[in-house]
Structures are given as C-alpha cells and as structure tokens.
Amino acid sequence: MERPDYFSRDSSNLLSEEQLLCSICLDVFTDPVTTPCGHNFCKSCLTLCWEKTYNCPICKEKFTKRPELKINTTLREVADHFKKKNGHDKSAVLCDACSEEKQKALKSCLDCCATLCKTHLEPHNNIPTFKKHKLINPVENLNDYICQKHKRPLEVFCKDDQTCVCLFCTETDHKNHNTVPIEKESGERKIQLGQTQTDVQRMIQDRLKKIQEIRHSVDLGKRSTEKEKADSAELFTALIQSIERSQAKLLKVMEEKQKTEEMHAEELINQLEKEITVLQTRDTELEKLSHTEEHLHLLQIYSSVCRPPQTKNWTEISITTDLSGDTVRTALSQLQQTLNKKLTDALDGKSKEAILTELKRIQQYAVAVTLDPDTANPYLILSHNLKQVTDGDKRQDLPDTPERFNKCVNVLGKQSFSSGKFYYEVEVRGKTKWDIGVAKESFNRKGPITLTPQNGLWTLVLRNENEYKACADPDVLLTLKEKVEKVGVFVDYEEGLVSFYDVKARSHIYSFTAQSFTETLYPFFCPGFNEGGTNSAPLIITDVTGTE
C-alpha cells in the first residue's frame, strides 16, 4: 500500500508546513519538545528562551519550576520526513553545478573546488585529466579542505606548525619543515583518539561502578533503617506496655489506699459524733442547773457535773494527705526527662551527621564573593581585599549613585547569580547585630528598607546579641542552642531555595522555600551600627575550606 502524503502546502492534506514551524525560529522543527501547556518548539530555541524565566512563548503560561524537556519523537519523525520531502534536509549536501533543482551530491572535488552530483561527476570518471583530480566524500565546507593561498588541496600536515598545508606550501612558507601526508598524521591521531576513547570508556566504567556502589550503599542504608525502625517500634511498644502495666498497678494501689483512708476517717467521725452526743447531753444538764432554785441539789451534784465527760484527746489526731502521689509524679517526671534527653541525644547525633553530609554537598557550590564598593553606604568601611565590612561612625564623601544605599548601612556582593546553585560563608563572631542573605537586583536601595521576600530580600538577622530571626513577613523567631560564629548561605535558584547554616555547630538554621526567582540575585550584608564599639567587629567573607 502506498504511503499517504501527509505533508503539503495544500490545505486538503492532514499537515501543512505552517503546522511544523517553530514559532521562535520560524523554521521546521529540529528536536521538537512539548511544554506542559501543549505548545511545541525546537529544543534549542526554548532552552535559549528559558535562560531566566520559564514562560510559554505563545500563551505566556508561567511555570514555577523548569519543566523537564523531552524530545517529541513522533513529531520529530514527521518534521524530518517533511524536510527530506521538501528539500529541507540540511544533512544532505547538494550539487554546486545543478542549475535547476539541486540534486544530492555524490563527491567533492578538491581540484575543481566543487561538490558534484552523479551526473556532473561523470567527466571525472571518463576524462583522463579529471581522473587525476582528488575526490572526497561530499562536504559543505569545501573551502576548509583547500589552501586559501594557493587554491590547492590540503594534502600535507606540518608538524612544526600543527596545521594542514598544500604541496606548494612545502616549497615556500613551510620549506624544510617536518611534514607528513595528512593520511599518515590522521592515522596517528586515530591511534591517539583510540587511546583517549579507551580512557573515556574507563572513566565511564569507573563512574558506573561508583553509581552501583552508591546505590548499594543506599540499599544497605534503607535495609538498616527499616530494621532500626522495626526494632525501635518493638522497643517502644514494650516500653508503652510496661508503662501501662505500671500505671494500672499504681492506680489499683492508690484506689485501695484511698478506700482504707476513707474507712479510717469514717471510724473517727463515728467516734466524734458519739462524743458530741455525750457532750450535748452534759451541756443540757449544765443549762438546767444554771437556772435551778434548788440550792442544796446544786451543791450535792456540782462536783460530778463540773467534771468534763471522759473523751479522747483529738489534738494529735488528724487525717494526713498521703504524699506518695507527689513522689510518684516526681519519679515519673524525672523518668520522662531522662527518656526525652536520651532520645534527643540519639536523634541529634543522627541529625548532625545528616547536616554534616548536607554541608559537604552544598559546599561544592562555593563561590568567591567580594563586596561591591559602589553599593556601600557612605558610613561603611570596606577592607582593601573587599572581604570585610564594618560601620565607621563617620560619613565618607561618596557620590549618591542609584546603586548605593543612602540610609541603611548595607552593601551588596559584587558577584551576581541568575541560575544554578551557589554558597558562601560569613564570619559574624563578636557582633551584637547583623543582617545576611541575598537580594534581588531591582529592590529599592534608597530610604528605610523592610527586610521581606516581598521586597526582594531573603535574610537572617541578629538583634540584641542573641535574638535571631528569619525575616519572612511575619518574622520567624529562632531558638539556637549556641551563639552563631559563622553563617553559611546556600541558594538554589531553580528550586527557589535560600538556606542558612551554623557552620561551626554543623546545624541548619532556617530555609526560605518555594520562592520564585525571576531576577538576578546578589549577596546582601549589613554589619549594623557600631553602637559605641559594642558592635565594632566586622562581617568577614571567609574562604570555604570544607567541613571535617
């Protein structure tokens, strides 16, 4: 069955040339890729458009992360077939001699300086003079194979000058030079290429082996983690069951003790109530005698009624609250604190190892950062190597350019970043106040500045010597175990990530995540006011030496 023709400028066919054109280069697709919004472009064209922002050139849809571009193989096959059918096949070299429709070239003649098809090559096969001409496989850049000075084929390689020359050159400019036929030199170079290829293949194998080792380590770590999780779950279950049993026993003992105490209290109450009845009877008798007119009777019974009834001495008798509950609570509280400390220590140990590994990874992206004097506030003093900055308490006579901070004692790094990852470290030892982070290029440098991502600033700050916060709007107050002496700043432009680390303590401080960077970023520094010398220590950009 004859294959249908899908490609034509005739609108009656399924596909037209317009449907296969890239809207950026306006040419037929080369390695077409498809965006998430469904539009197609040449891969190289779209890559160039996405150097800074990730928008669709047609519908302008914005992508927060750079989409992974994969070649649309079906569309590529359609575009390639269209090119071949309509003479767009750039890989085919065409005949120089064809006057009408250009035919595919069969050979290039170095003597004729022309690339010829089968028909126009015929004289080179039949005419003796043309048979002596040097023919090579067809090439587009034929001038590269011909000496531009003598218009002769490049047939000799000059080892002294490491260049290809013609035979006439060996009698003039390259006379007495060490020359060899280009075929011989090419053969030697091929041997060297073979060795290089062997080395490259060995490097590939080494890296494949390393990948296997890493994956094996990950698998071992995963199995170890799963085992540790199972063991931990078993231990926690046993611990919980033990605590629950102890709790049940404690509740039972407490209830029994409570019942005993209630029975004892009831017995004492009964005794007291009986004595109250006796005393009330005596009180009634005394009341009657106090009103009697029988004087003789009063004197006869006086001594018997004036003596108090025989009762128990209740002064030393009381119901005391048993303090065993407090003792138990104290013991449980101490146990909880001990358990929490043990678990925290164990988890911190693992966390420090993880942070150390993370720090080693991101320190690979360390960049050399220096301060930009053109942006420094006039009160700031920069060191000669542009690595240190402090407040000088005295305004310098500097021009108020658009780049310079005029109110806040800030300064930017000279280096800028608009893609990829970068990392730098700043020593903050001895300071009571500072701001460190990154800033977008267009943020306002004049007047008061509010440190927020909305204003184009991602910063970590210190206030009052030991109050740390991330300026995230609202600010995030941070509780750090140790006073920070060196801050590590890591930025992943594509991921929208800005992270701060305590380099000495090997701990993570804070991260701004899911940010959308669309502008160039600069390192940002503020040493704070001198404050009478209490904050005179400089901010120092240090070399990243790695973490042991």
Statement: residue 337 has pLDDT above 90: no
- Rounded CA-CA distance 139/114 in Å is 10
What is the pLDDT at residue 347? Answer: 58
Could you tell me which residue, 331 or 5, shows the higher pLDDT? 331
pLDDT over 80 at 300, yes or no: yes
Q: How many residues in the chain?
A: 548
pLDDT the model gives residue 322: 58
pLDDT tens per residue across span 32-87: 999 999 999 998 888 888 877 788 989 988 888 888 888 998 898 888 888 777 65
Question: According to the per-residue pLDDT averaged within each range, which of 310-314, 351-355, 497-501 is highest?
Answer: 497-501
pLDDT given at position 547 = 61
pLDDT for 423 beyond 90: yes
In angstroms, the CA 113 to CA 148 distance is 11
Q: How far out from the chain centre does Cα 327 lie?
A: 50
Q: Tokens 């025989």 appear where?
A: 310
Reported as a pLDDT band with limits 50, 70 and 90, residue 15 is low
Q: Is it the case that residue 313 has pLDDT exceeding 90? A: no
Residue range 229-280, pLDDT digits in tens: 888 888 888 889 988 998 898 899 889 988 988 999 999 999 999 999 989 9
Percent of the chain topping pLDDT 90: 46
> What pLDDT is stored for residue 498 in this prediction?
96
pLDDT of 2: 42
pLDDT tier, 338 (very low <50, low <70, confident <90, very high otherwise): confident
At residue 138, what is the residue type?
P
Is residue 364's pLDDT more than 90?
A: yes
pLDDT score, position 7: 43
Q: Dump strand ranges (E) for 86-192.
A: 107-109, 114-116, 135-136, 156-158, 163-165, 179-181
Q: What is the pLDDT of residues 181-227, one digit of tens each?
A: 999 999 999 899 988 988 988 998 988 888 888 888 888 888 888 88
Q: What is the pLDDT of residue 143?
A: 85
* Residue 321 pLDDT level (bands cut at 50, 70, 90): low
* 473 compared with 281, residue with greater pLDDT: 281
pLDDT of res. 324: 57
Omega within 30 of 0 (cis) for the link into 67: no
Residue range 80-131, pLDDT digits in tens: 888 777 655 556 789 999 988 888 889 999 888 899 999 999 999 889 989 8
What backbone phi and psi angles, to 5 degrees, belong to 217? Answer: -65, -40
User: Percentage of the chain with pLDDT > 70?
Assistant: 92
> Is the per-residue pLDDT at 6 higher than 50?
no
Closest to 22 measured CA to CA, from 45, 48, 5? 45
Instruction: Check pLDDT > 50 for residue 8.
Output: no
pLDDT bracket for residue 339 (50, 70, 90): confident
Q: Tell me the mean pLDDT in the region 284-295.
A: 85
Write down the pLDDT at residue 442. Answer: 94
Amino acid at 507: S
pLDDT score at 11: 40
Q: How far apart are CA 512 and CA 454, in angstroms?
A: 12
Least confident of 273-277, 295-299, 359-363: 295-299
Quickly tell me which residue has 């950026």 as its tokens: 24
- CA distances (Å), origin 260, targets 53, 91, 267, 272, 275: 79, 103, 11, 19, 23
E-strand stretches of 166-224: 179-181
Confidence at residue 92, expressed as pLDDT on a 0 to 100 scale: 75
The pLDDT score that the predictor gives to residue 358 is 87
- pTM > 0.75: yes or no: no
